[in-house]
Amino acid sequence: MSYERQAQNYEKGLINYFIYMGKLSTPNNQEMNDRKFDFIDQWLPARYTSSVNMILKEDKKDPAYIRQVKNTRTDDMKIIDALYIVAQLNKLQVED
């Protein structure tokens, strides 16, 4: 198996893991939402809308709507969870 293929499989595994963990720990109170948005603001890369749509798969959204959810902190948990996953992946890449 080539290195590129291994990296793709590893990335898919990370994405599935973060999606699974995001579903288990969906925050109900505002304090947890604020912490999640603080993490997103700190670690989200400059170009993130295509990554969010890649995570959402069938439920793709317009990039303008994704930016609106991020900037106005709109309560769309699917988008927020996808933004959080992208921020976590970016943090892992930056710290390695």
For residues 86 and 44, the answer to whether their CB atoms sit within 8 Å is yes
**Structure confidence by residue, pLDDT tens digits, 2-56:** 656 665 666 666 666 655 555 444 445 577 778 889 999 999 999 999 999 999 9
8-state DSSP, 48: -
**Structure confidence by residue, pLDDT tens digits, 47-93:** 999 999 999 988 899 999 999 999 998 888 899 999 999 999 999 99
Which residue ranges make up each domain of the chain?
A: 3-95
- Supply the pTM of this predicted model: 0.68
Q: What is the predicted pLDDT for the residue at 25?
A: 46
